[in-house]
């Protein structure tokens, strides 16, 4: 039961993130479902390619919610299918703007729920030998996130984080 619930949670989280990504992508340029699938695969470094059964229900729901609309539908000669190009509606643009505007509030709310995340994280790490170290990494990354959003000079924050990532890359290559 727990595994099924955890899988459902991850799927719902993925769908929410994918919905936002679809809106964001369509804001840049109208696209077909196939183009979105390929774009997501490319953005994930070929690590994940959503199935048609994942993307098209999202597109259908976004269309029903009037956040996207069909720009045009072209017939494809080879296989008698239609290529449907979707675009963001004004409602979709407003919704995306609201999500972005409230993103800073998300960081504050995220901090309020740290103890809940700790509890969940502890459950997920049960039985791992490196549990203490992973928990410490989680705590540090949480503190880094909090501090990064409170520092006004974002360019300096970016430089520090890029330097940190560079050092982590070296550690990973050396397997220290």
Please say if the pLDDT value at position 114 is more than 60. Answer: yes
Mean pLDDT confidence for 62-80: 82
Reported as a pLDDT band with limits 50, 70 and 90, residue 5 is very low
Q: Are 125 and 137 in contact (CB under 8 A)?
A: no
Domain positions in the chain are 2-99, 104-174
Please report the pLDDT score of residue 68 as a whole number.
Answer: 94
Q: Are 87 and 35 in contact (CB under 8 A)?
A: no
Please say if the pLDDT value at position 13 is more than 90. Answer: no
DSSP secondary structure code for residue 50 in this structure: -
pTM of the model: 0.58
Please say if the pLDDT value at position 57 is more than 60. Answer: yes
- Which CATH number is 2-99's, of 2.60.40.10, 3.40.50.300, 1.10.10.10, 3.40.50.360? 1.10.10.10
HSE on the CB side for 35, CA within 13 Å? 13
């Amino acid at each position: 039961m727990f595994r099924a619930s955890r899988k459902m949670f991850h799927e719902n989280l993925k769908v929410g993130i994918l919905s936002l990504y679809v809106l964001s992508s369509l804001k840049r340029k109208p696209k077909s479902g196939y183009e979105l699938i390929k774009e997501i695969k490319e953005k994930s470094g070929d690590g994940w390619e959503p199935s048609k059964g994942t993307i098209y229900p999202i597109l259908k729901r976004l269309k029903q919610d009037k956040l996207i609309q069909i720009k045009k539908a072209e017939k494809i000669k080879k296989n008698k299918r239609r290529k449907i190009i979707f675009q963001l509606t004004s409602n979709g643009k407003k919704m995306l703007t609201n999500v972005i505007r409230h993103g800073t509030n998300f960081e504050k709310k995220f901090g309020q729920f740290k103890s809940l995340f700790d509890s969940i994280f502890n459950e997920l790490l049960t039985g791992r030998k490196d549990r203490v170290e992973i928990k410490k990494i989680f705590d540090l990354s949480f503190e880094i996130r909090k501090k990064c959003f409170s520092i006004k000079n974002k360019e300096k924050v970016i430089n520090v984080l890029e330097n940190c990532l560079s050092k982590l890359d070296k550690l990973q290559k050396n397997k220290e």
